[in-house]
Amino acid sequence: MSSLVRFLFSLAAAIAAASLLAASLRRRVQPPHLPDQLNPGPMAARNRSFVLWLHGLGDSGPANEPIRTFFSAPEFRLTKWAFPSAPNAPVSCNHGAVMPSWFDIHELPMSPGSPQDESGVLKAVENVHAMIDREVAAGIHPDNIFVCGFSQGGALTLASVLLYPKTLGGGAVFSGWVPFGSSVIERVSAEARKTPIMWSHGMADKVVQFEAGQAGPPFLQSAGMSCEFKAYPDLGHSIAREELASLEGWIKGRLRASQDKQS
């Protein structure tokens, strides 16, 4: 196979994975949009929450905004959502093609033994932490902050939650992987170890292999963290409606617990 053909194949795999998520979301019926803020009173403002969604390679934040329409429960009435876009950067697995990317990816499909861009991941983590810190400074309790992400965004979600110095409401990883080695475990604070992790992965995933996702829970266990892992037998590299329904229930339960603790 020529280098040109290999390049086109790897580029198509990454772009198709990102566009598949956006297209599948656009095809779904969307419930009524809910505003970020409804001029809450002091008590309601204290209970506001923040959900940060990190997209996959080659995708964009705006393309993922339909995700928020699946969270129509009353607990999300005062939730602020953010869908940032990754900067454009050359990606090694696509022979240096420039596209939205949180950090470099050396090869696809991603396997448990794939090389990782640890320095790039840590730089991206700093930017995610800055977004979280802004919301904390604005008055949102860390217990009410949730970081979620798909594919490359899922890997960045995991890294960001592990390395944030405070306990967050939770981190949700969809079709992601562990983006660094075990030496990072030493940097995980006692407070961060209390942050729960939800991990979902399709067993038919050909872009981020299911085995790469399976490596997540043991890694987190070695860091002293809890992880709810759920496998989806017929799911490829995409997000299913069932996964979003599980995420809604997962966040709802933690918001209620957080509000009871703060009352």
Q: Which residues contact 42 (CB under 8 A, 6 or more apart)?
A: none
Catalytic pick among 49, 151, 175, 238: 151
Q: Is the separation of the CB atoms in 109 and 14 below 8 Å?
A: no
Q: Is the separation of the CB atoms in 160 and 171 below 8 Å?
A: yes
**Would you give the DSSP letter of residue 86?**
P
**Catalytic residue flag (residue 104):** no
**Catalytic residue flag (residue 237):** yes
Catalytic pick among 160, 175, 237, 238: 237
The pair phi, psi for residue 205, each rounded to 5°, is: -70, 120
Residue 71 neighbours by CB distance under 10 Å: 19
Q: How far is Cα of residue 107 from the mean position of the Cα atoms in its chain?
A: 20
Which two three-digit tokens encode residue 40?
A: 């809450």
Give the separation between CA 141 and CA 112, rounded to whole angstroms: 35
- Distance between start and end Cα atoms, the chain: 63
In 3D space, the residue among 145, 201, 144, 154 whose CA is nearest the CA of residue 179 turns out to be 154
Buried b or exposed e, range 156-189, using 16+ CB within 10 angstroms: bbbbbbbbbebbbbbbbbbbbbbbbeeebbeebe
Give the separation between CA 76 and CA 63, rounded to whole angstroms: 21
Give the catalytic positions in this structure: 151, 205, 237
